[in-house]
Structure 1
């Protein structure tokens, strides 16, 4: 399986453009937990796509999750990219124990 963890900042969409589209399409969020519920549904669909090794569906379902996370963060005045940057600064300062499956825990 190919890895694609390269720096590619040439995206057309942003958290702002996605949230504007979503609000225009679905209306304002009345309960942020509904976004979380929907993201969990999309995570299950992503899991199914991974089980089937369907690259097209994996990409689409992962994007659905990201879109919902953008919108959820927006409800709290947060920017997802900035939150990832801040969390990575914390992660890089920690010591980690690999679980041998591509995941791990900080120690």
Structure 2
């Protein structure tokens, strides 16, 4: 994905630009969720993921490995459910 993005859009001058674009894509994802538009939810979620993978690669991070490491931490924590499908660790 990052190779395609660099070939298509050029090199990243400032990684924060990727973060800003991801925020825009998150807003679009939120609109799709509001409308329960499954096709758009999938597309916008994918846009967010593409940007996150590209952002991680700017710092030589393996996002899949980072996710696995974070899930190991999450699994070891005690959680409090908020009752809406989300929660926070105690």
Which bracket does the TM-score occupy, shorter chain normalised?
over 0.9
Could you tell me which runs of 5 or more consecutive residues in structure 1 were left unpaired when the two chains were aligned.
1-17
CA distance in 1, matches of 2:26, 2:63: 18
1:76 aligns with 2:59: yes
The aligned counterpart of 2:72 is: 89
CA distance in 1, matches of 2:54, 2:69: 19
The aligned counterpart of 1:54 is: 37
Aligned length in residues: 90
CA distance in 1, matches of 2:76, 2:60: 26
Runs of 4+ in 1 over 6 A off after TM superposition: none
Shift of residue 84 of structure 1?
0.4
CA distance in 2, matches of 1:73, 1:87: 14
* Residue of 8, 19, 22 corresponding to 2:5: 22
CA distance in 2, matches of 1:74, 1:30: 13
Q: CA RMSD in A?
A: 0.3
Q: TM-score, normalised by structure 1?
A: 0.84
After superposition, the C-alpha distances for 1:28-87 in whole angstroms (9 at most, x for unaligned) are 000000000000000000000000000000000000000000000000000111110000
* Residue of 9, 12, 21 corresponding to 1:38: 21
Which has more helix, going by share of residues?
2
The aligned counterpart of 2:46 is: 63
Could you tell me which runs of 5 or more consecutive residues in structure 2 were left unpaired when the two chains were aligned.
none
Q: TM-score, normalised by structure 2?
A: 0.99
